[in-house]
Chains A and B, each alone.
Chain A
Amino acid sequence: MTPARKQKLMIVGSIVLGSAVAVALMLYAFNQGLNVFFTPTEIAEGKVGADQNIRIGGMVKMGSLVKQGAGTTITFIATDTNEDIPVAYTGVLPDLFREGQGVVAEGRIDANGVFQANSILAKHDENYMSAEVKAALDAAAERKAAGGTP
């Protein structure tokens, strides 16, 4: 093999190796950062795997917000009008969080079926409903219209 060819082989080899490492790292990172979105109905149907980090969306049910005494934990019920899911969150709520408004939360479902939220997504604009919440409500409405579960 001529030196020039050898050099070329080295370059090609290192590019292949570098890309392989990059792709592997990327897939790993993707897995770490990926949150799949589920509606309360899908959760009720058992579509969520155990210990899976997910995003949920729905409306905060009227009268469901409970602020516990000593700590900073709050609980509320998120609903897509079809199914409900209890949510617990520790920390400061976003300003636009309100009963009867849309909410998107990120976290996982614990053994008791309570969604333990790590973060609650806030919207900057009151009139703006997140596409995720809207999709969840639309799906539930469609189900109702089709005569599915009440």
Chain B
Amino acid sequence: MIPELGNFAAMLALCLAVLQSVLPLAGAFTGNRLWMGLGRPLSAGLWVFMLLAFSCLAYAFLHDDFSVAYVARNSNTALPVYYKFAGVWGAHEGSLLLWVLILAGWGYAVSLFSDKLPLDIVARVLSVMGMITTGFLLFLLFTSNPFDRLLLNTPTEGADLNPLLQDFGLTVHPPFLYMGYVGFSVAFSFAIAALLTGRLDAAWARWTRPWTNAAWGFLTIGIALGSWWSYYELGWGGWWFWDPVENVSFMPWLVGTALIHSLAVTEKRGVFKSWTLLLAISAFSLSMLGAFIVRSGLITSVHAFAIDPERGLVLLTILLVIIGSSLFLYALRAPVVKGSATYGANSREVFLLINNILLVVATAMILLGTLSPLIHEAIYGEANRISIGPPYYNIMFIPLMAILAFFLGASTFSRWKKTSLQHLVSNLKLVLVASVTLGIVLPLAVASSFNPSAMLALVLAFWIVFSIVKDLLDKTANKASRWQGLLGLGRSYYGMQLAHFGMAVIITGVCLTSHYSIEQDVRMAPGESITINDYTFTFGGVVERPGPNYTAQSATVDVSIDGEAYITLRPEKRTYHARGDVQTEADIQVGFFRDLFTALGDPRGDGAWVVRVHVKPFVFWIWLGAFLMAAGGALAVMDKRYRHKPVLLAQQEALPPTADSIEAVAKVSHS
């Protein structure tokens, strides 16, 4: 009964989505305010019914209703309650339901926080979001219905959730990732609305910016969680593999980052307009491409969903319709929104243009690497496959990011319109000296071995940090007191600097852990030990330990420093009863400056096992940096000027956005 209710709710949601995609837009074209006004209540209704459908599936999971095929495939009575709930999005159908729920949620959020927007814009935005929701709901209901029943042969026991997913990191990873992916649909819808109306001014950019920042922040966390999960759950000790599935989540992030910066230029200076629109369309298109690649099973990856060509085809159709029609509209209408302001060769605009070029080139090269196996196969046939390994990505991506980091530091002191070279040089001199000195001296003093690329990375990280510090000092120099000066800077300024600081932290983490990690896979008999740096790892043997729905081979690894006992790590090899799957559980002692990583390999007779022992310096900083970036995004969203500017906004709409008027408005913030 409950699953039918859920199914029915999803169908009603589809009806509302269809209405939402037609009525407000028709109203906007004909000037019918009643129809335009329907966007808000319809999106609220859509959200409520999707929530109901989702709750029904969650109910089926929590009550072990194995007459629902999806529950039977992905749950089990012995599964802990927490994972039963997380099982709702543990496989294709349910995660798609979550995807649509979040899509409806973003639509509802737009309808809630858009009271200052002109009604016709809200109507168009909500209609576009309604169309996207309609597409995905059709896909859900007709090809991947999570409410399908097994009424004739109802199993008494479920097949269990994939053990890899029985983990905290992976239960929260998909919701965050989808919040990011789907969140870009808001910027996308704003872009389509701008193309439809031909109006793209500073106010438009200001409406779009917080939504983009929010989606980007969620995506940052989502990707970081995925990376963190693969680090401790896959038992390989790596945190990024340039796997197709990782790549497809990273591409919208890179384009989203470019979009955030391009939106800043569009708001402050009224240029890069059509470019901004193209980025907004691309960010969401790449998100959908990601969904398509992951769910169609087209690419061999470590975590692809099961293959189903029919589903892939339907998704591809939705993808082509959305991307195709939006690019067609773009081709028709982009010339209408041309920018008019000019800027010098050395200006903040140009710095941000460089940022955009680097990010887009990085995206293009990842896209090429990810898709070329597919293209190759299409040309040369199924038996002739190629794959693109990490060396390709590292050779391309790392230099691009190094250049990006250099310009990031330098651009801190650039000004809109025109910056004198002298101004830049005088500001950067001290920063350069400090960062080069510290970046070279620090590794020489602390590290065990000389490594030039780690040095370069540290120099770049310090370069960014010192630029931020100098900028903060400069900005507060002429105030009555430093404290007062610091308080006077806007939240979006702090958001920007925090995110940039996060980038420096990530650079440090990535480079130091890549160059200074020590990784040993050794065969160890009980009592044997291995010493890495100051740490001695002693293998204590393996005992059997029962878990709620698995049996674990649990090892003890005693870690000592200079003979003094420090900590005992317990890596495990779990055999899950329902499927018989074996799952490695690494045990990690997380530290601020280094992680101690242990994982159990396979038994090699006489109580001996292969044990994976890693000492990974600064690996924690990778996720810390990602968190700082997302926090920066959140801070920027909370900036006051996104809320308390109704008067100024009206003025700006009346006036053409000249450079000076905008600069006056934007003086508070800077990003």
Contact = CB atoms under 8 A, between A and B. Distances in A.
B74 to A, nearest CB: 11
B610 to A, nearest CB: 5
A34 B162 contact: no
Nearest to A127: B306
B300 A130 contact: yes
DSSP class of A's interface residues: helix, strand, loop or mixed? mixed
B395 interface: yes
Contacts of A96: 581-582
A104 B304 CA distance: 15
Interface in B326-374: 361, 365, 368-369, 372
B302 A34 contact: no
Interface in A120-135: 121-128, 130-132, 135
Contacts of B365: 26, 29
B392 interface: yes
B172 interface: no
A47 B302 CA distance: 27
A37 B386 contact: yes
A29 B234 CA distance: 27
B382 A92 contact: no
A132 to B, nearest CB: 6
Contact of A72 (B234, B396, B522, B584): B522
Interface stretch (B9-17, B464-472, B598-606): B598-606
Interface in B474-532: 521-523
A34 B573 CA distance: 34
Nearest to A130: B300
B387 A35 contact: yes
A67 B493 CA distance: 59
B235 interface: yes
A55 interface: yes
Interface string A107-126: 00000000000000111111
Contacts of A37: 384-387
A13 interface: no
Nearest to A71: B523
DSSP class of B's interface residues: helix, strand, loop or mixed? mixed
B379 interface: no
A39 B382 CA distance: 12
A125 B602 contact: no
B152 interface: no
B164 A33 contact: no
Nearest to B365: A26
Which residue, of B303, B368, B399, B599, has the highest number of chain A Cβ atoms within 10 A?
B303
Contact of A34 (B164, B386, B522, B599): B386
A55 B388 CA distance: 10
Contacts of B369: 30, 33
A128 B306 contact: yes
B389 interface: yes
B392 A72 contact: no
A139 B381 CA distance: 12
Nearest to A32: B391
A29 B297 contact: no
A36 interface: yes
B388 to A, nearest CB: 5
Given A67-B604, A91-B521, A135-B382, A104 B392 contact: no
B389 A34 contact: yes
B395 A29 contact: yes
A34 B300 CA distance: 15
Interface in B375-403: 382-393, 395-396, 399
Nearest to A39: B383
Contacts of A123: 302
A33 B389 CA distance: 4
A124 B241 CA distance: 15
Interface string A124-150: 111110111001101100000000000
Interface in B584-601: 584, 599, 601
Given A33-B389, A35-B386, A95-B581, A131 B395 contact: no
B385 A92 contact: no
Interface residues of A, number: 43
A93 B601 contact: yes
B300 A135 contact: no
Nearest to A90: B521
A29 B612 CA distance: 30
Contacts of A28: 395
B419 interface: no
Nearest to A65: B602
Given A72-B601, A123-B302, A92 B522 contact: no
B307 A33 contact: no
A35 B573 CA distance: 32
B583 interface: yes
A90 B612 CA distance: 12
Contacts of B388: 30, 33-35
Contacts of A50: none
Contact of A92 (B389, B393, B610): B610
Contacts of A32: 389, 391-392, 395
B235 A92 contact: yes
Contact of B396 (A29, A36, A106): A29
A85 to B, nearest CB: 16
B579 interface: yes
Given A72-B601, A92-B599, A126-B579, A36 B300 contact: no
A9 interface: no
Contact of B521 (A25, A30, A72, A126): A72
A25 B396 contact: yes
A22 interface: yes
A57 B639 CA distance: 54
B601 A124 contact: no
B602 A131 contact: no
B586 to A, nearest CB: 11
A34 B385 CA distance: 11
A130 B385 CA distance: 12
B383 A135 contact: yes
A4 interface: no
A69 B601 CA distance: 15
B385 A124 contact: no
Contacts of B522: 72
A12 B643 CA distance: 43
Contacts of A104: 300
A93 B306 contact: no
Given A33-B392, A124-B302, 8 more contacts: A32-B391, A37-B385, A67-B605, A124-B164, A124-B304, A128-B306, A128-B307, A131-B307
Interface of A: 22, 25-26, 28-30, 32-37, 39, 53, 55, 67, 69-72, 90-93, 95-96, 104, 106, 121-128, 130-132, 135-136, 138-139
Please list the 7 inter-chain residue pairs (A to B) with the smallest Cβ-Cβ separation, ordered nearest first.
Answer: A33-B392, A37-B385, A92-B601, A29-B395, A32-B391, A33-B391, A33-B389
20 contacts: A25-B395, A25-B396, A26-B368, A32-B392, A35-B387, A36-B385, A37-B386, A55-B385, A67-B605, A71-B523, A72-B604, A91-B521, A92-B236, A92-B521, A124-B302, A124-B303, A125-B306, A126-B581, A130-B300, A139-B383
